[in-house]
Amino acid sequence: MNLSALLLRLSVTALPVIFAITLHEAAHGFVAYRCGDDSAWKLGRVTINPLRHIDLVGTILLPALLLLISGGRFMFGYAKPVPVAFARLRRPRRDMVLVAAAGPAANLALAVVSAGLVRLLAALPIEGAAADWIAANLYVSILVNLILGIFNMLPLPPLDGGRVAVGLLPEALAVPLSRVERFGIPILVLIIVLVPVAAVASGHHLDLIAYVMDRPLSWLMSAMQWVSGARYD
């Protein structure tokens, strides 16, 4: 991928990614505040201002570097996590589920809004390069938000899905799963990086995360195509 194409890819990726992670983290903080924990509120994290959530390394440098190294084919990043004191929630077990689910729910909502804006864009008198650039941003927003929402709902603490599972499972299962949280990130790195590498080394191809996410992502993308009235891959 040449430099101009890479810069174009970056220009239609940066805003959707920043808004996706901003709304995700702000939703966690907002629901925590409504459920009794004002930790994020006091730190000014219950806001859609991206500057309050951006992590220099995780939100800017790491995604840009991966996008450059991969020639525009791969990007991963993260924001500063919103602090939540689960013990301060009014009903900790139930509210933990609500707080954890709020982030992915916000991403799903943003994907739906982006799909609706695609339909609206087609009805507006905007043409040429400007229309193409806006449409590209909206398509990326749909995809990024769906991937972020589905990925975070994987049932592995400290991902949101892991915390939802801990809150919903019987105590006999919830307690052992909650203890996995301290090892969650290394386990995730193992699954994302080492499993595919080991599979390729053995003459096979296995991307476990992509395999797990493929079906729900396909279903949701079909739904977004219906909302937007457009077809895209």
What is the pTM assigned to this prediction? 0.85
Spatial contact of 58 and 77, defined as CB atoms under 8 Å apart: yes
Burial of residue 28 (number of CB atoms within 10 Å: 0-12, 13-18, 19+): buried
Q: Give the DSSP letter string of 21-85.
A: HHHHHHHHHHHHHHTT--HHHHTT-SSS-GGGT--IIIIIIHHHHHHHHTTTS------PPPP--
Mean predicted confidence (pLDDT) in 203-207? 61
Q: Determine the average pLDDT of the residues in 6-13.
A: 75
Q: Averaged over 14-21, what is the pLDDT?
A: 88
**pLDDT at 1 (0 to 100):** 56
Alpha-carbon distance of 147 to 132, in angstroms, equals: 22
- Decide if 181 is catalytic: no
Is pLDDT larger for residue 200 or for residue 174?
174
Given a cut of 60, is residue 122 above it in pLDDT? yes
pLDDT at 115: 94
Q: Show me where the domains of the chain are located.
A: 3-228
Q: Decide if pLDDT at 147 tops 90.
A: no
31 or 195, greater pLDDT: 31
Phi and psi torsions of 95, nearest 5°: -70, -30
pLDDT at 46: 93
Q: Quote the DSSP letter at residue 124.
A: S
Mean model confidence pLDDT for the chain:
84
Predicted local confidence at residue 106, as pLDDT: 97
Rounded average pLDDT over 49-64: 81
User: What number is the average pLDDT over the span 14-37?
Assistant: 93
Q: Which of 3-12, 36-45, 223-232 has the highest mean pLDDT?
A: 36-45
